[in-house]
Amino acid sequence: MKRILFLCLIFISGYSFAQKIFKQPDAMGTWQYISPFKDKSYVLAIQYGVKEEQVGENINTTIYFGKIGLKTDQLFWKEKIYAKLITGNVSYEDYNSDGIKDVLIFSETGARGGNAFYYLFLLDPKNKKISKVKNFENIVNPEYNRKHHVVVSYGLSGTNNYSIYKISKANKAYQIGESFEDTFDSDPTELDKRIRKILKKSVH
């Protein structure tokens, strides 16, 4: 009898939790909600401060994507990431030249604040889908180059270096060519020449 009662309590607790994922008044951490589509029932939710930051661990945040319902929320996926909550941590820019602004979420900074890292989520409004770009969070100071359809990384260190990335059809960022030092001085055309040279080599 006690075993049956215990199993019933587990079922009830699990069922109650499943009723609502977003807008939980007692959920731990700080929640941030993003409406990526015109249909505001679809939500990208970021739960900061899931647990204390620990040495050697790169997880302190959980990100969810789902659809809000009156009593039950539908969760499509969730993932644990490392991200710091700052003012202006979310920005929008088209990173795959489809005319739709994608979502950039700030992760952290390095090199005394000069190097910033982000997570990139590509939006598909037609199918109401969001896809995380793998390895993008390792690209320092990313900027999308619309002319060449590449991501330009500019790392600040003892010497400042450029690296060029592409995003594959499988939504994974990968570097093309070798990184190169910024020795351009005041020549604004040199970066364009370097990118064209790298792209030319990468097709062979």
pLDDT per residue over 150-176, tens digit each? Answer: 999 999 888 899 999 999 999 999 999
Find, among 194, 192, 198, 146, the residue nearest to 174 by Cα: 198
- Whether the pLDDT of residue 101 is over 70: the answer is yes
Other residues' Cβ atoms within 10 Å of the Cβ of residue 29: 15
Residue 77 and residue 93: Cα distance in Å, rounded? Answer: 23
pLDDT per residue over 180-203, tens digit each? Answer: 999 887 787 999 999 999 999 887
Report yes or no: 120 and 134 within 8 Å, Cβ to Cβ.
no
Q: For the sheet with 150-155, list strands across it.
A: 142-145, 150-155, 161-167, 173-181
pLDDT per residue over 56-71, tens digit each? Answer: 455 789 999 999 998 8
Q: What percent of the chain has pLDDT over 70?
A: 84
Task: Name the 3-class secondary structure at 46.
Answer: strand
